[in-house]
Structure 1
Amino acid sequence: MEKKVTVLPGDGIGPEVVASAVKVLQAIGKKFHHTFHIAYATIGGAAIDQHGDPLPQETIELCEESDAVLLGAVGGPKWDHNTAELRPEKGLLRIRKHFDLFSNLRPVQAIPSLIKSSPLKDDLVKEVDLLIVRELTGGLYFGEPRKRTNEEAIDSLVYSRLEIERIVENAFELARVRRGKLTSVDKANVLETSRLWRQIVDEKKAQYPDVEVEHSLVDSTAMKLITNPGAYDVLVTENMFGDILSDEASVITGSLGVLPSASIRSDNFGLYEPVHGSAPEIAGKGIANPAATILSVAMMLRYSFGLKEEATEIEHAVNAAFNDGFFTSDLATSGNQALTTDEWTEKVLNKIDPSFVSDSIITTYI
């Protein structure tokens, strides 16, 4: 297989963790005889500094020529006082909208060697294996009209039937290949958009008799994610609810550094990125945890390229490195040596292919 991947390192620790993830992608390519052509472009604060735009046209064009996009992280205090259109985060919103990346996938899975890092009790965490499917391009964050005066502010929560149908169908398909349970999260006791959402879920479930469906209000879901997270398989919800619930769920495993994400569209083109932020306070120190970005590459292989065996190989390598007692400083305890970003990446690479040397990738710079 031959694929082109655009890499957007971004800001803060983004370039460091992306470098680790690209090495892992190289190793998988070598082991399974695939060729991954890598092109680099800018987004976020780095793009503002270089091009005066958080999502330059050059970046858009390069992504359009690619089969998938790998992103590091954006943002930092350097740009906190910029206008809204020149904030690094604006680049993320725009790239999601431009490429119609309507489905955001956020897996949360317990890693045995990291359970002690969770703020929850061990018996609540050890069975966790859930997937949050968040609608990403509609709802309150994109609705119009939107305005603000000194006396009043308006944000509009708007969803069309098409927007709801496609994310719900996506969630049903994912539940079907997992454990066959779908939880639809809404606020149907208050919101008209949620009532339409619930209606469409009920219409669609007839097409998926092998999937168990339940409706859950967002507030009770937020409580149950903490009191009984192992009860969930796939959760599907609208944009703002998904934003909040996925961040809540991210603490279950004990570290943002191990959580990947995918934002995909109907033809499986996707943008893959770690859940964590740019962490500018540790940028350049060589201590950032690259696991989430490496696992984002695994999601890319699985969801955009259909390479399930290769994706599983990466996931097993990451888990094996942790289970062997290798950690970066954010997860190391007094009994474990804290490895640098590069040192920990080498542990993962050795699990994949001990003979790998990262000198064979085809790279383009813009």
Structure 2
Amino acid sequence: MTYKLAILKGDKIAGDVIDNALNIVKQIVKPEVDFDVITLPFGENAIRLFGEPLPNQTLRELKKYDAILIGLLDFDSWDSSLFSAKEALIALKKFLNIKVEWKTIKISDKQINDSPLKYDVAKNTDFVIVQGVESFSDLIDGNSVLEDYAQDIITYEQREVEQVITAGFELAMRRQKHVTVVTGFDAFETSKFWASVAERVSQSYPEVVVKYDLATEITSCILQRPANLDVVIVPRWIDHMVNQEAQQITGLPALIPVTMKNSKNQLLYELPHIHHNLEMLKLMEKELVKFILKEYLNRPDLLDEIGV
């Protein structure tokens, strides 16, 4: 079987991480799996070639492939581009019609000593955070601070909320069938709206156990009872807080990649933005191999080959 894989190597030495991971996978799965791989301009290399980080040539080719790997991006080095790294990523996801992303927070036996949590608290931690992708409107969505004035405006559309919550329930059906819906804060109308949509979507998943938590409750659970969590669905205006707490408990917060999928089942895998030291890059390489085997090739049985 042939798998069509597009690679956006990103910046600096990110390409080495992807190349090494792909070579490891090929050694494990040969000869039963064949790859059709293309590397497309993106980030600094695209700026040098085309004067922009996300050229039309790249966008046209991407739709032909069933999975896309995005390399590490240096958010501070794009002085020669009109677009920031963050804006380029948002534009890419918008073009591919990607609405939902998720992060897996797992503490394996080999990682448990890295966690700041006590052993009995950290063991068996394995949950997923599901959230909407960042959009351009999030960058300018009515948030302002002056010397004597502050304002936050959050806008939700029913379709957007349904997509995120449905994706969370679909993931739960493939896991332990338990969902925690984070509703934010009781007094907010957006929290009530989020909860009402979640209650309606949950009716289609009678096998899934649903729990509703406020923002303060979910952060407490992450720090004190993370092994009780399975799928956590968060609204975008508190996702940064929840992600920060969840990533810290792994002891390796810089190594949490992001997985996405659109309505055409294209997988998008975004490597985290980490400092380029050798130890971190080797760990990231292993995480990428895990993703390709488990999520892309659907071969979790091969994870033993890399000692997972």
Normalised to the residue count of structure 1, the TM-score between the two structures is: 0.75
Note if 1:316 corresponds to 2:304. Answer: yes
CA drift at 1:98 = 1.5
CA gap of 1:25–1:143, structure 2 versus 1, over 3 A, is: farther
* Equivalence for 2:65: 66
CA drift at 1:243 = 3.4
Tell me, yes or no, if the aligned pair for 2:75 and 2:84 is still in contact at 8 Å: no
Which amino acid letter does the alignment assign opposite residue 37 of structure 1? Answer: D
Tell me, yes or no, if the aligned pair for 1:54 and 1:90 is still in contact at 8 Å: no
Of the three residues 275, 282, 290, the one matched with 1:279 is 275
Tell me, yes or no, if the aligned pair for 2:47 and 2:53 is still in contact at 8 Å: yes
Which amino acid letter does the alignment assign opposite residue 72 of structure 1? Answer: G
Alpha-carbon separation, structure 2, partners of 1:302 and 1:264: 15
* Equivalence for 1:295: 287
Alpha-carbon separation, structure 1, partners of 2:147 and 2:51: 29
CA gap of 1:34–1:94, structure 2 versus 1, over 3 A, is: same
Alpha-carbon separation, structure 1, partners of 2:143 and 2:250: 37
CA gap of 1:115–1:86, structure 2 versus 1, over 3 A, is: same
Alpha-carbon separation, structure 1, partners of 2:256 and 2:130: 14
CA gap of 1:152–1:271, structure 2 versus 1, over 3 A, is: farther
Note if 1:210 corresponds to 2:207. Answer: yes
Alpha-carbon separation, structure 2, partners of 1:53 and 1:148: 32
CA gap of 1:197–1:140, structure 2 versus 1, over 3 A, is: farther
* Equivalence for 2:108: 111
Normalised to the residue count of structure 2, the TM-score between the two structures is: 0.88
- What pairs with 1:20-99 in structure 2 (closer than 5 Å)? 20-31=20-31, 33-79=32-78, 85-99=82-96
Tell me, yes or no, if the aligned pair for 1:12 and 1:279 is still in contact at 8 Å: no
Alpha-carbon separation, structure 2, partners of 1:146 and 1:45: 30
Alpha-carbon separation, structure 1, partners of 2:145 and 2:52: 24
Which amino acid letter does the alignment assign opposite residue 277 of structure 1? Answer: H
Note if 1:19 corresponds to 2:15. Answer: no
CA drift at 1:246 = 2.2
Provide the secondary structure at the position in 2 that maps to 1:207.
coil
CA drift at 1:142 = 5.7
Tell me, yes or no, if the aligned pair for 2:53 and 2:88 is still in contact at 8 Å: yes
CA drift at 1:277 = 1.2
Which amino acid letter does the alignment assign opposite residue 16 of structure 2? Answer: E
Q: Show CA shifts across 1:250-272 (max 9, x none).
A: 22222246533311112221211
Which amino acid letter does the alignment assign opposite residue 233 of structure 1? Answer: D
CA drift at 1:62 = 1.9
Tell me, yes or no, if the aligned pair for 1:107 and 1:130 is still in contact at 8 Å: yes
Moved more, 244-253 or 53-62: 244-253
- What pairs with 1:101-180 in structure 2 (closer than 5 Å)? 101-137=98-134, 141=138, 156-180=153-177
Identity score, percent: 24
Which amino acid letter does the alignment assign opposite residue 231 of structure 1? Answer: N
Report how many residues are paired. Answer: 308
CA drift at 1:8 = 1.0
Alpha-carbon separation, structure 2, partners of 1:109 and 1:77: 29
Q: Show CA shifts across 1:62-94 (max 9, x none).
A: 212211101111114433x567x4222221111
CA gap of 1:170–1:290, structure 2 versus 1, over 3 A, is: same
Tell me, yes or no, if the aligned pair for 2:25 and 2:293 is still in contact at 8 Å: no
CA drift at 1:288 = 4.1
Tell me, yes or no, if the aligned pair for 1:100 and 1:265 is still in contact at 8 Å: yes
Tell me, yes or no, if the aligned pair for 1:11 and 1:76 is still in contact at 8 Å: no
Tell me, yes or no, if the aligned pair for 1:218 and 1:241 is still in contact at 8 Å: yes
Provide the secondary structure at the position in 1 that maps to 2:202.
helix
Tell me, yes or no, if the aligned pair for 2:247 and 2:256 is still in contact at 8 Å: yes
Tell me, yes or no, if the aligned pair for 1:110 and 1:129 is still in contact at 8 Å: yes
CA drift at 1:291 = 3.7
* Equivalence for 2:9: 9
Alpha-carbon separation, structure 2, partners of 1:100 and 1:272: 14
Of the three residues 236, 247, 252, the one matched with 2:249 is 252
Gaps of 5+ in 2: none
